[in-house]
Amino acid sequence: MTRRCHDPNNPNYPRYGGRGITVCDRWRDLTNFVADMDAGYAPGLELDRIDNDLGYSPENCRWATKTVQANNKRRLVKITIDGVTKTAAQWARENGVGVELARCRIKYYGWDPVVAVTTPTLTQHEVVSHATKFAAAARTAAKEERRLSRSRQAAR
């Protein structure tokens, strides 16, 4: 923790110290860190910063499960719906939308994040139905285009 925040030669320094993340002066002494954090520790928990843009200090750190940590990364899209903030993946799972589909809707198709995680995923039957209707419309349009083309040629 200290090396990645304060040692520019550490390979992780750009993601921590290079972003201004520091270890508070009090925690530079391991005895103080243990005194502040020992009470909440349990096997399977790891140190987690509540706000990833702030440093390591008693006010900004907690012991958390891997699942909590996985949902507390700065690269994740956070969405607030009705005053509740969750990651896009959490909202998608809760609404029965595929996580990868929600990610693609946001990243590649430019969907509004709330719409992306709340619009239901089409069933296979719905996909086939839409594709069949599209194909029929395309065939009809192609026939009409051929008819118009013949009419134009005949008029010359």
User: Which residues lie closer than 8 Å to 77 by C-beta, 6 or more apart?
Assistant: 87, 88, 106, 113
pLDDT given for residue 127 in this prediction: 58
pLDDT given for residue 41 in this prediction: 92
Q: How far is CA 106 from CA 4, 40, 114, 115, 145, in A?
A: 32, 37, 9, 9, 36
3-state per-residue secondary structure call for 109-153: CCCCHHHHHHCCCCCHHHHHHHHHHHHHHHHHHHHHHHHHHHHHH
**Encoded amino acid at 52, one letter:** N
Q: What is the mean pLDDT of each run of 10 residues along the chain (156 residues)?
A: 95 95 96 93 94 94 91 82 88 89 88 91 65 79 87 84
Provide the whole-model pTM. Answer: 0.59
Q: For residue 33, give the H/E element and its range.
A: helix 30-37
Please report, for the chain, the start and end positions of each structural domain, with discontinuous segments joined by +.
Answer: 1-74, 76-121, 124-156
